[in-house]
Amino acid sequence: MKAADPAGAPGSAAPERRIIQRGLYFEEFEENAVYVHSPGRTVSEADNILFSTLTMNTQSLHLDAEWAKRTEFGERLINSMLTLSALVGTSVAQLTQGTVVANLGFTEVKFPNPMRAGDTMRSETRLLSKRLSRSRAGQGVVELEHIARNQRDEILVVATRTTLVLCSPIHP
């Protein structure tokens, strides 16, 4: 068998095209678009215990089944910070992988309904605004609204996040 010519000479195999997964550059964020993230995430009791103990959140509502039975919820709830972290995390591959410079902050976070062990979270993001950075050439400020729902379509968390992202190297 003849080896392929790396120079791509006639009769040789074409060089392979390499596609690298990345988030969106500033210019690629679209107004009036909803970015639906996949896959969803089913959160387990073990996830909750691990996250709560790793973050030193010893709230009985997350760790003590007997105590939690006596609350209005009747059971342990998933740590809301895990819910928020998973929400933002599900957006990374599609929106900010390799293109984010920094998270600038969260201006609003709401938890209308609790997440429970066994719930499957689905998430989406809307662009609220974008502008070029006034102080950092080649970067832009993007304001995003992240929303997570469970399998019953109940909203679990809504978070408004501002990020600094790279502009496209081909659109100077």
Whether 103 is covered by a domain: the verdict is yes
Query: Both tokens of residue 18?
Result: 């390499």
Q: Which of 66, 88, 70, 157 is nearest to 119 (CA)?
A: 157
Considering only residues 10 and 148, tell me which one the structure prediction assigns the higher pLDDT: 148
Whether 3 is covered by a domain: the verdict is no
- State which residues form the domain around 123: 26-43+79-166
H/E segment holding residue 91: helix 80-91
Collapsed DSSP state (helix, strand, coil) of residue 113: coil
pLDDT exceeds 90 at position 68 = yes
Number of domains in the chain: 1
Whether 70 is covered by a domain: the verdict is no
What pLDDT shows up at residue 49? Answer: 96
Q: How confident is the model at residue 171 (pLDDT cuts 50, 70, 90)?
A: low
Whether 146 is covered by a domain: the verdict is yes
Give dist(CA 114, CA 41) in Å, integer.
15
Whether 7 is covered by a domain: the verdict is no
Whether 120 is covered by a domain: the verdict is yes
Query: Both tokens of residue 104?
Result: 């600038």
Whole-prediction pTM:
0.86
Give tens-digit pLDDT for 117-170: 999 999 999 999 999 999 999 999 999 999 999 999 999 999 999 999 999 998
Give tens-digit pLDDT for 96-106: 999 999 999 99
Q: What percent of the chain has pLDDT over 90?
A: 85
Are the CB atoms for 93 and 39 separated by under 8 Å? Answer: no
H/E segment holding residue 126: strand 120-132
Give dist(CA 15, CA 107) in Å, integer.
47
Whether 60 is covered by a domain: the verdict is no
Whether 54 is covered by a domain: the verdict is no
Are the CB atoms for 22 and 96 separated by under 8 Å? Answer: no
Q: At 112, which CATH number? A: 3.10.129.10
Are the CB atoms for 146 and 163 separated by under 8 Å? Answer: no
| 59-to-55, 148, 158 alpha-carbon distances in Å | 11, 23, 22
